[in-house]
Amino acid sequence: MQKTILLTGATDGIGLETARMLVAEGHRVLLHGRNRQKLENVEQALSEVTGDGQVESYVADLSRMAQVEALAKAVIEKHDKLDVLINNAGIFKTPEPVTADGLDVRFAVNPGSLLGTKMVKEAFGAGQRDIRVGAEILVRAALSEEFEAASGQYFDNDSGRFAAPHADALDPRKSDAVVRAIETILSSNG
């Protein structure tokens, strides 16, 4: 059965490899990127992938909340539901390290890994493993039955299984403090 999958950060690295794998398996992949030209290039490259997959592109800078909202609205206008959301976008090097909302751009945009992506190489000089490892995990999470009821659960990539997140993530006082701090920053810059 074809799934509709929104994939952020789809123009490079793990995101691009994940998109390639999902399209080859016949899924509808909603590609996200910050750069329209890179998205067009990715769409062209994915059109050459064999399989019945389909692609659509959406441009948004995820460090800008207004563009995040616009992305969500654009997807909702064309699709009644998403089967899978893969938050893969990441950034390291940027000329503007602080967002218009006063947040560190990496905090606003990044889930993180140390696989051999361009971003990791820029940050640390080299990645630890091939990006295909990350793409395979994302495809498995998007399509495998073992993940069907996994919404909200933490998957530990290193151990390859579901696990408890860091204890701080389970502490409601600490979570509330983080939310309040973010809301304070956003309201003072809004």
Contact present, 27 and 53 (Cβ < 8 Å): yes
How many Å apart are CA 159 and CA 90, to the nearest integer? 22
Longest dimension (CA), the chain: 50
Kindly indicate the confidence band of residue 93, based on its pLDDT and cuts at 50, 70 and 90: confident
C-alpha 183: how far from its chain's center? 22
Residue range 28-34: mean pLDDT, rounded: 96
- The reported pLDDT for the residue numbered 39 is 96
Pick the range with the lowest mean pLDDT from 12-21, 35-44, 100-109, 113-122: 113-122
Tokens of 21: 């794998």
Contact present, 24 and 48 (Cβ < 8 Å): no
| Residues above pLDDT 70, as percent of the chain | 84
How many Å apart are CA 138 and CA 155, to the nearest integer? 11
Tokens of 110: 């990044």
Q: Residue written as tokens 């080299």?
A: 126
- Residue 112 or residue 187, greater confidence: 187
Residue ranges of domains in the chain, CATH in brackets: 4-151 (3.40.50.720)
> What sign does the dihedral 33-15-107-172 (CA atoms) show?
positive
Contact present, 148 and 162 (Cβ < 8 Å): no
Kindly indicate the confidence band of residue 9, based on its pLDDT and cuts at 50, 70 and 90: very high
Q: What is the mean pLDDT of the chain?
A: 83
